[in-house]
Amino acid sequence: MDQSPRETAHGAPRGLAVTARGFGLRGPRGWAFRDVDVDAAPGSLIAVEGPSGSGRTCLLLALTGRMKPTEGVAEVGGLKPPRRMSALRRVSALANVTGVTDLEPALTVGEHLRERALLQRRFGAAPRA
């Protein structure tokens, strides 16, 4: 696991520090993840590993303000979920992840394009033709 910081032009680490202690999320079918501890300095690269269904995606969604945690404490760039979830969503992003960002088979091509345009507008990007 590479935890070497990436730097800005001024030499300061780029990115947000992420910490969590006893972090957990319980859903209607039980615990998605529980008792997770994280320490990541600004600019570090960490890997979240585990088998399918182990809660990796839920952990990342909770740390980025997209799911509400059930227990523990976390801080991302000074913002603490669940109190600052909307602020967390503004400073974080999710990448393409197979199984998470795949096209939804129930939607038409037009619906996918409209959804993409709405997401771009929501996150400040100019819609592309």
Mean pLDDT of 61-81: 93
Integer Cα distance of 92 and 18 in angstroms = 11
Query: Average per-residue pLDDT in the chain?
Result: 81
Residue 76's nearest CA partner among 123, 32, 40 is: 40
* The domain defined by 1-94 carries CATH number 1.10.150.120: no
Write the CA distances from 70 to 22, 34, 37, 61, integer angstroms.
10, 9, 14, 13
**DSSP string computed for 65-113:** TSS---EEEEEETTB-TTTTHHHHHHH------TTTSSPPTTS-HHHHH
21 versus 126: the higher-pLDDT residue is 21
The per-residue pLDDT for 1 is: 40
Share of the chain above pLDDT 90, in %: 33
CA–CA separation, 47 and 44 (whole Å): 10
User: Whole-prediction pTM value?
Assistant: 0.65
Q: Where in the chain is the domain with CATH 3.40.50.300?
A: 1-94
Cβ of 125: how many Cβ atoms within 10 Å?
A: 10
